A and B are shown apart, each in its own frame.
Chain A
Amino acid sequence: QQQVRQSSQSLTVWEGETAILNCSYENSAFDYFPWYQQFPGEGPALLIAIRSVSDKKEDGRFTIFFNKREKNLSLHIKDSQPGDSATYFCAANYNQGKLIFGQGTKLSIKP
């Protein structure tokens, strides 16, 4: 019931394409879903987040689509750039600011 799952360990797309990273969860009480971006040797950095009362959140090239009924969400990265190559973590809040993380998806953008 506390699981957050990311459907791919790795994903490769061409520069300029839209990268789609998928995430699912089990606990319907989760109410906040951040995505973190991590480069090698660095800590995760908050990229974009959505609350369960919304079904879409957009910030520049990054968009979260959220489906509460299906308990899944996806991160879309439009016009992918080589600098977007990183590991992306989906997470969920389960109790007063405590987050549970997915295992991460390593995204590679081919120039």
Chain B
Amino acid sequence: EAAVTQSPRNKVAVTGGKVTLSCNQTNNHNNMYWYRQDTGHGLRLIHYSYGAGSTEKGDIPDGYKASRPSQENFSLILELATPSQTSVYFCASGTGGVYEQYFGPGTRLTVL
């Protein structure tokens, strides 16, 4: 029973198209995060949220929007996808208080 799930697991998009990546958590954590992982860069924080209705910019937010409609769900939106956004995207949830984060399995996005 995976506590953080992501969909889709793989996605191919066209340049200029809109892409929505979804994340669901059953940990009942207040905080949720979106990262991208690229070789040589580790994981970099795109957007995060402290609870339903809130979104905050992370370290590399340009070209991305986020939406947190409920405690369980957190989406990452690429309004106009570009090839530079080809990457693996990870969602995570955390309590905030003890700083632990628990990651989903990732979404591999290819923008052609």
**Can you list 20 A-B pairs, Cβ within 8 angstroms, ordered by A?**
A4-B42, A32-B99, A34-B101, A43-B104, A44-B90, A44-B103, A46-B102, A97-B31, A97-B96, A97-B101, A98-B33, A98-B48, A98-B58, A99-B43, A99-B99, A99-B101, A100-B59, A101-B44, A103-B41, A103-B42
The contact of B101 among A2, A46, A104, by CB within 8 Å, is A46
A32-59 vs B, CB cutoff 8 Å, 1 = contact: the mask equals 1010100001111110010000000000
Contacting residues, chain B, for A97 (C-beta < 8 A): 31, 94-97, 99, 101
Q: Which residues of B contact A (CB under 8 A)?
A: 4, 31, 33, 40-45, 48, 58-59, 90, 92, 94-97, 99-106
Count A-side interface residues using an 8 Å CB cutoff: 25
Contacting residues, chain B, for A4 (C-beta < 8 A): 42
The answer on a CB contact under 8 Å between B45 and A49 is no
Contacting residues, chain A, for B44 (C-beta < 8 A): 101
Question: How near does chain B come to A51, taking the closest CB pair, in angstroms?
Answer: 9
Question: How near does chain B come to A97, taking the closest CB pair, in angstroms?
Answer: 4
The answer on a CB contact under 8 Å between B45 and A99 is yes
CA distance A36 to B90 in the complex (A): 13
CA distance A79 to B23 in the complex (A): 37
Question: How near does chain B come to A8, taking the closest CB pair, in angstroms?
Answer: 13
The answer on a CB contact under 8 Å between A43 and B100 is no
CA distance A103 to B38 in the complex (A): 9
Q: When A42-B105, A43-B90 are in contact, do A89 and B43 touch as well, CB less than 8 Å? A: yes
Instruction: Give the interface centre of B4, B31, B43, B59 by most chain A CB atoms within 10 Å.
Output: B43
Chain B residue at smallest Cβ distance from A44: B103
The answer on a CB contact under 8 Å between B105 and A98 is no
Is A93 located at the chain interface by the 8 A CB criterion? yes
Contacting residues, chain B, for A45 (C-beta < 8 A): 103
Question: How near does chain B come to A44, taking the closest CB pair, in angstroms?
Answer: 5
The contact of A49 among B59, B100, B104, by CB within 8 Å, is B100
Is A1 located at the chain interface by the 8 A CB criterion? no
Contacting residues, chain B, for A2 (C-beta < 8 A): 59
